[in-house]
Structure formats: structure tokens, C-alpha cells
Amino acid sequence: MWRRGGNGGPTVEQMRSIEIDVFRRAGYVGTPAANWWVYRNRLFCAGIQPKHWNDNAVTLDNQILRITYLPWHFGGQRAYFLCDCGRRVGTLYRPPGYPWRCRKCYQLTYATRQAAPRQRLILKAQKVREQLGGKLGVLDTFPDRPKGMHWRRYDRLRRRHDQAVHDSLGMLAPYAKRMASRLNAERITSIVRGK
């Protein structure tokens, strides 16, 4: 069907996706945003050009995307795509040569779910660094507080980052110990053979 990623199945990050919010802001669903042309241009650059649209459906070249609405808590309503399987979703995905469907229809997973536990912790720390606008390397100096960010939030992000790096290095210690014992065993074996 399509190329499987990493250690498991295909991931969301490998597929083309469309979000209902972009369609809404572009004016294809509901009331358009003030800068609707920016979102229509974004869809056009992604190769998505609706032919007809109304509040219940958007017609693409080879498929009709159905739209449904749910009421909000304090009035108004929110639009969702209605997948062919019957699920209400905010994002649809499309492998090359297949129609737009939800994540469950194509059995898509997330790349972080396929990462090893230590790698997940590193990704968590990198996400904090990315939020603060710093370098992604966890051994680089921690980024300064961005202008306008509250100190309390900055400290919370710093603690989250430090805990993820600490746990990641803690998981690395047993691995380093095993590697050192293997190297010692190989060295002893080579010394014995050399005699």
C-alpha cells in the first residue's frame, strides 16, 4: 500500500494531511477569516483546490469531503470532517493514490510512539527548546527566556526539560555500563589469546 516507517507502521508525519480549521479560515466552511486569501493560497500550494463548497460538503477533484457540526458549550458550533467510516475528525490524511480518510482508517500512528523510550525523552527536551527558540541539542546551553514570557512558565518549561534530560541520561547509564563490561571482556580475551 505505502512505505512503512521506522520500526512500525506508517506514521501521520509521512502522510499528506488537511485540517478543517484551514478550510474554515479559507472560507470553504462557515465564515471566512479576515485574511482568507492566505489560507486559500496555503491550500493551493498544497495542491488542494476545491471545485464546489457549501456548509455541508467540499468537493475536490476526485472526492467529496462531508462536513458535520457539533455545538460548542457557550453557543456557536464547530465544524468537523465526517470520514467514510463515520468518525468526526479535524484532520484527514492521504497516502499517495488513495482518498482522504481519518487516521484510524489507514492505521496511522505517530513517530514518537515508534521511538525508543530514551529517544522520546530527548524529543520531549527538544520540544521545550524549540518552544523557547533555542538550539535543539540537549547539551547546548539552555535558551534564555523569550521576551513577554512569564517567569513562572519559563521555569516550568526549564524543569520539564531538565527532568527529561536527566531521565534520558539515567537510561543511558546501564547501557554504558554494559558496553564497558563488553569492552573489558574483549580486552581480556585478546590478552589471553595474545599470550
Model confidence pLDDT, tens digit, residues 171-190: 888 888 888 888 887 777 77
Cβ atoms 49, 43 nearer than 8 A: yes
| Helix 117-131 and helix 151-194, axial crossing angle in degrees, nearest 10 | 140
Above 60 in pLDDT, residue 152? Answer: yes
CA angle 47, 59, 100 (to 5 degrees): 60
User: Which cell numbers in the block locate residue 73?
Assistant: 458549550
- The reported pLDDT for the residue numbered 194 is 67
DSSP-assigned beta bridge partners for residue 19: 91
- The reported pLDDT for the residue numbered 5 is 44
Q: How many CB atoms lie within 10 A of CB 122?
A: 19
User: Which cell numbers in the block locate residue 99?
Assistant: 482518498
- The reported pLDDT for the residue numbered 92 is 93
Query: What is the pTM assigned to this prediction?
Result: 0.66
